[in-house]
Amino acid sequence: MVADIAYLQQNQRDIQQLEQVLARQRAAFRANPLPSAEQRRAWLKALRKLLVQEQDSIIRAISRDFSNRSADETRMAEIMPSILGIHYASKYLKKWMRTSRRAVGLPFQPASTRVIYQPLGVVGVIVPWNYPLFLAIGPLVGALAAGNRVMIKMSESTPEFSELLKTLLARIFPEDLLAVVTGDVEIGVAFSKLPFDHLLFTGATSVGKHVMRAAADNLTPVTLELGGKSPAIVSTTVPLRDAAERIAWGKTLNAGQTCIAPDYVLVPEARLNDFVNAYRQAVQRFYPQLQSNPDYTAIINQRQLNRLNGYISDAQNHGATVVPLFPESHERRMAHSVLLDTTDDMKVMQEEIFGPLLPVIPYQRLDDALAYINDRPRPLALYYFGYDKAEQQRVLEQTHSGGVCINDTLLHVAQDDAPFGGVGASGMGHYHGHEGFLTFSKAKTVFSKQRFNAARLIYPPYGKLLQKLVYKLFIR
């Protein structure tokens, strides 16, 4: 009882501290509501320098949280895209900030219209555990480029890295510009209820619904990056080695703990067995063995491992065939498996998998594959493998998803000059590159006149000849 009371008291103090940090950031923003391009570039330069200098400590901390996270995967999928995003934003920042001149319609002349881009104020970012650096730094870059103050809530599932990032960022940014928040689920709930000027959440669809409800009380606009069940389609003609190898890379990176990982594969029925064999060979080329293999990333924690093992048991109980690609798992290095004969009543086909399990589903015609995808919630990503241009176009036109790769997986997320975001159940809003700047800015229209006011000719009383002439000219 005493421990519970102490926990509640500490929790309340932590929540009050969140409110105090937000108040200090709001005050700092009011004191400098439009940071210059030079100031914003200085922030980004300091951030880039920090990531380059501290990459080894970042790699070690993330690996400890996972029990083993491939150092190369952290460099390739977290550090490198973060630095590239900073370079891109720094390069184009002045262009993005430039006032945009817009046309004025003839009835409203003489006048001018322009759009100016202002920072929103204080931005909240909620970070998941699977890519704790990249999914913190990506939104941070967009928010800083737009001139905002930022509060970041890190995941309680990555305590080592969360504390490290908090320490590192406090070294280069004052708390009234950037604050990193750690803590449990209760702190996360309180964070989502703060009256931010914008809130970006990356994580599960189920949690995203709660975040959106919390934000609604303050009318806080939200960007939700959620995920879902991203499909891959293998065509009837693509070389199976090509497709299997690229799907295997997208599925095994971070042990499948990626929001845009291929969640299931649709394969022509006549090619099913050959695809499974090609896929097995690709995975085993990447990872000849699991035990003590530094390249094979572990499942983040025991709770997630139990969830994935539960999917396997449930699928087997409902008649699925599980094809393990390794003899056994080693601690949290979970053996990759293919699942055949899956049905919609299995949990593995109802929930985002987020792990090294790959259902392979046969189809007869491309129409059947497209219908299968369109009968389900819109995914964050879709992957098509085939070199027929007409078929590629058909897939693009007849499906909806947050993004698409043709003959590859994952890499659309790394394109700084293109937006990233979901649709429907997989999220709302965009960020990365210019879209990130726009998400965290207010595009404010400014309509200007000087002394002469032609509009007075249409002021009341109505029914004058000139008004009738205006209607005749422009309502047709």
Residues acting as catalytic residues: 225
Burial of 332 (0-12, 13-18, 19+ CB in 10 A): middle
Q: Are strands 427-428 and 222-225 parallel, antiparallel or unpaired?
A: antiparallel
**What pairs with residue 420 in β-bridges?**
431
What distance in Å separates the CA atoms of residue 395 and residue 382, rounded to the nearest whole number?
9
Widest distance between CA atoms in the chain: 89
Both tokens of 54, joined, read: 């501290």
What distance in Å separates the CA atoms of residue 347 and residue 354, rounded to the nearest whole number?
12
DSSP conformational letter for 106: G
Both tokens of 334, joined, read: 């979970």
**CA-based R_g, the chain, Å:** 26
**Which residue, among 76, 159, 130, 132, has the nearest Cα to 354 in the 3D structure?**
130
DSSP conformational letter for 430: -
H or E element at residue 164: helix 159-172
H or E element at residue 371: helix 366-374
What distance in Å separates the CA atoms of residue 366 and residue 351, rounded to the nearest whole number?
24
CB 187 within 8 A of CB 153: yes
3-class SS string, 95-137: HHHCCEEECCCHHHCCCEEEEEEEECCEEEEECCCCCCCHHHH
